[in-house]
Amino acid sequence: MSTSTTTGDRIVTAYLADLRAAAAHLPPATADELVADITEHIAAARADLPDETESDVRAILYRLGSPAEIASAAGPSAHPSPGGVEYGTIVALTVGTATFAGPILGLVLMHVSRFWTPRERRAAWALFFAVPLAGLVCAFGFAYLGGAPWQGIALGLAMVVAGPITAGIFLATGLRRAR
């Protein structure tokens, strides 16, 4: 039983769309070349069929493998995935605020990592320093306006600790990008 060419074409079109989506991690030129090569291979295999059926087309695609397998074999992801350095950065910036060295270690690890973009790094630096600076300004203003000294000191210390924690939380949200 012969199926119409449109059924085979529809199956191949869907397969190639899945391949294009699976190859999104590759540089555009590499992804285009991959899809073109697979398209050519499918066309050659279909041309060899004496009487094309839907099962013949599916068999060709099955022998090629899934689009995800083909795309992953074509090259590594352009974006690194998070690992120990990234998770260590988050822990050092958030939990590490209990020590003086924790936030400093967090900033060092952030710069060693290749995961975060320069924009994300600049934003983390800004949060790291801007939140405590704003807290200290508020604390001094509070003390200047006649508040109790211990309240100003407590507010200032809380904001100094909040800076690295805020930077860590900001960087942690970037980890979702890898999923």
Residues 29 and 58 in one domain: yes
Name the strand (E) or helix (H) holding 169.
helix 149-174
Instruction: List pLDDT tens digits, range 122-177.
Output: 888 888 888 878 877 877 777 778 777 777 777 777 877 888 888 888 888 887 76
The answer to whether residue 95 sits within a structural domain is: yes
Last residue of a domain, one of 34, 56, 74: 74
Helix axes 149-174, 101-112, angle to 10 degrees: 20
Question: Higher-confidence residue: 10 or 152?
Answer: 10
Last residue of a domain, one of 38, 54, 74: 74
**DSSP secondary structure string for all residues of 56-74:** HHHHHHHHH--HHHHHHHH
Domain count within the chain: 2
Residues 91 and 165 in one domain: yes
Instruction: List pLDDT tens digits, range 25-83.
Output: 777 888 889 999 999 999 999 999 888 889 999 999 999 999 988 888 887 655 567 78
The answer to whether residue 79 sits within a structural domain is: no
Give the range of the structural domain holding residue 111, as residue numbers without chain letter: 84-178
Residues 121 and 62 in one domain: no
Residues 117 and 64 in one domain: no
At residue 150, what is the residue type? W
Answering whether pTM is above 0.85, one says no
Outline where 23-148 has alpha helix (H).
28-47, 54-64, 67-74, 84-94, 101-112, 118-144
The answer to whether residue 156 sits within a structural domain is: yes
Question: Higher-confidence residue: 146 or 89?
Answer: 89
